[in-house]
Chain A
Amino acid sequence: MLVAHLDPLASSIFSLMAIASLLLAFVMLGSRWLNNYLYAFAAQSWIIAALSASVGFYGGYPELYLIAVLTALFRGLFLPYLLWRIVRRLNVAREIHVILQPSSALVAGAFCVIFSLAVGYRVSQSLGLAGTAAVLALTVMLSMTLIGFLMLAVRYEALSQILGLLVLENGVFLGVQILVPGMPLLIEIVILFDLMIVVACFGVLIQYLFAHAGTTSSLKLKRLVG
Chain B
Amino acid sequence: MVGALLFAMTIAPAAAVLGCLVFHERSIAEKLNLAASVVVFAAAVVLAVLSAKGPYHFWADYIVLDMPGAWVTLCTAIVYLLASIFAVGYMRLLGEEEKLWSFYALFAGFALTVLVSTLMNNAGLYWIAIELTTLVSTFLVGFERAAESVEAAWKYIIIVSAGISLALLGTVLFYWSGSFVLGPVYDMTWATLQQAAPKMDATLVSLAYLLVLIGYGTKVGLAPMHTWLPDAHSESPAPVSAMLSGALLNGAMLGIVRYLAIADAAGIGPFARTVLVALGVLSLLVGALFIVRQNGIKRLMAYSSVEHMGVVALGFGFGGVFGVAGALYHMLNHSLNKSLMFFGAGNVMRSFGTKEIDRIRDVWTHYPVQGSLWLAGAVAITGAPPFGLFLSELIILRGGIERNYGWAVAAMVVLLVIIFIGFLNHFREMYFQPTAGADSPAAAISAWCVAPMWLALAPLLLFGLWWPSGMWQHFSAIAQSLAGAAP
* Residue A16 CB within 8 A of the other chain: no
How far is B201's CA from A104's CA once the two chains are assembled, in angstroms?
Answer: 37
* Residue B219 CB within 8 A of the other chain: no
Q: Are A200 and B166 in contact (CB under 8 A)?
A: no
As a 0/1 sequence over residues 199 to 214 of chain A, the CB contacts with chain B under 8 angstroms (1 = contact) are 0110111011011100
Number of interface residues of B (CB under 8 A): 52
Q: Which residues between 280 and 301 of chain B lie within 8 Å of chain A, taking CB atoms?
A: 290, 293-296, 299
* Residue A99 CB within 8 A of the other chain: no
Main secondary structure of the interface of B (DSSP, over half): helix
Q: Are A197 and B157 in contact (CB under 8 A)?
A: yes
Interface residues on A, range: 35 or more
Provide the residues of chain B in CB contact with A180, threshold 8 Å: 172, 175-176, 179, 184
* Residue A9 CB within 8 A of the other chain: no
- Stretch binding the partner chain, chosen from A32-40, A65-73, A121-129: A121-129
Interchain pairs with CB closer than 8 A, number: 129
Given A2-B184, A193-B131, A226–B179 Cβ distance below 8 Å? no
Interface residues of B (CB under 8 A from A): 124-125, 128, 131-132, 134-135, 138-139, 142, 145-148, 150-155, 157-158, 161-162, 165-166, 168-169, 172, 175-176, 179-180, 184-186, 188, 201-204, 207, 230-231, 234-235, 290, 293-296, 299
Partner of A189, one of B128, B185, B201, B299: B128
Provide the residues of chain A in CB contact with B153, threshold 8 Å: 204, 207
* Residue A84 CB within 8 A of the other chain: no
Q: Are A165 and B161 in contact (CB under 8 A)?
A: yes
Q: Are B155 and A221 in contact (CB under 8 A)?
A: yes
Q: Are A205 and B139 in contact (CB under 8 A)?
A: no
Q: Are B235 and A149 in contact (CB under 8 A)?
A: no
Q: Chain B nearest CB: distance from A194 CB in Å?
A: 9
Main secondary structure of the interface of A (DSSP, over half): helix
Please list 21 pairs of residues, one from A and one from B, whose beta carbons are closer than 8 Å in the complex, sorted by A's number: A123-B203, A126-B203, A126-B204, A149-B162, A165-B161, A169-B168, A180-B175, A180-B179, A183-B185, A186-B124, A197-B135, A204-B153, A204-B157, A207-B150, A210-B150, A212-B147, A224-B151, A224-B155, A224-B230, A224-B231, A224-B235
Partner of B172, one of A152, A158, A179, A201: A179
Residue of B nearest to A186 (CB): B124
How far is B138's CA from A205's CA once the two chains are assembled, in angstroms?
Answer: 11
Q: Are A223 and B299 in contact (CB under 8 A)?
A: no
Given A165-B165, A204-B138, A182–B184 Cβ distance below 8 Å? yes
